[in-house]
Every structure is written in C-alpha cells, then in structure tokens.
Amino acid sequence: MVSEEQFKSALGRFASGVTIVTTTDESNNPVGLTVTAFASVSLRPPLVLVCIDKGANTHSWFSLKSPFVVNILAEGQDAISSVFASKSVENRFAEVRYKLNQHKVPVLDGCLASLECQVGSFYEAGDHTIFVGAVLDATVRDGKPLLYFANQYGRLA
C-alpha cells in the first residue's frame, strides 16, 4: 500500500488549476474554500464535480443540496487562494471583492470564469465528499490561469 507521503508527493506532480468554491451557510452568510479537486463531468447536461474534505469547516454547507459557485482563479489571485485555503482565517470574505448572484451565493471578482451550480448528488469517498453540480450559468473573461504544482502557485510562461 502506498504511504500517505508517497501519495501526496505523487499528486503534487500533477499541475492543476485553482478554484474557490463558494456557497452560503444557514444564515445566508458567505462561505467558501480553495479547491484544486475540480473537473468537468458531462457536457449534456452540463455537470462538474468538486471534492471537499469532510474536515473542512464549510463541508456541511455543501451537503444541503444548495447552490454553489466554482470560481476559477486567474494569475495573480494566489493571495486570495491562500486566504480561502487557511483554516485559521475566520472571515475569508473580509478582504475579497465579490457580488451575490440571483441565489445570493458569492461570485468572486477578477476570476477567469465562474460556474453557478446546484448540487445534484454527492458521494462519500474516503475523507472527502464528491459533490456533482448541475451548471446553471457560466461567466468567462480573458486572462491566464493560476496554477498549482508541487505545493506552489505557478503561472504559464
């Protein structure tokens, strides 16, 4: 069996984009976290998936089949990603510009794309939950992506 260290080291060699997934809590306060485990699932119908650690303090808000937004980060948004990845930041939205969509879910400013979704199903997978969302709307803008590789943020040449 592969050790946790070997597994993490191997996965760190896979370059990925960086997303911040946002939703709201039971009091309609914005919540969100940085997610690199994101993928498209289907074109017809348009579906995406995000994998969220069961230990994340925002995990329970995604379990309610609520709307969420996948904010695909642009080059230069590494500081925002770090804030949303931190377990010690109490109000992650204090220093971030965003607007609320029609479902009152935060859409972050300056991202390459945002996908507004509705949780359709979820699956238990080890220490994470895989949430599959139906994409209801998408917004895109020009720019370059923020990348993550070997535990560091990177940029396209």
Structural domain spans, the chain:
4-154
- Give the model's confidence band at 49: pLDDT under 50 very low, under 70 low, under 90 confident, else very high: very high
Write down how long the chain is.
157
Residue 65: predicted pLDDT = 75
Residue 91 has pLDDT above 80, yes or no: yes
Among the ranges given (75-84, 89-98, 111-120, 131-140), the one the predictor scored with the smallest mean pLDDT: 89-98
Environment class of residue 50 by beta-carbon count within 10 Å: exposed (0-12), middle (13-18) or buried (19+)?
buried
Residue 156 has pLDDT above 90, yes or no: no
Residue 63 has pLDDT above 80, yes or no: no
Q: What is the mean pLDDT of residues 55-79?
A: 90
Q: Reply yes or no: is the peptide bond before residue 30 cis, omega within 30 of 0.
A: no
Nearest by Cα to 152 from 92, 85, 91:
85
Q: Which CATH class is domain 4-154?
A: mainly beta
Mean pLDDT of the chain: 93
For residue 148, the one-letter residue type is Y
For residue 103, the one-letter residue type is H
Torsion of CA 155, 130, 83, 97, to 10 degrees: 90
Q: What is the mean pLDDT of residues 3-19?
A: 92
> What pTM value is reported for the model?
0.94
Environment class of residue 125 by beta-carbon count within 10 Å: exposed (0-12), middle (13-18) or buried (19+)?
exposed
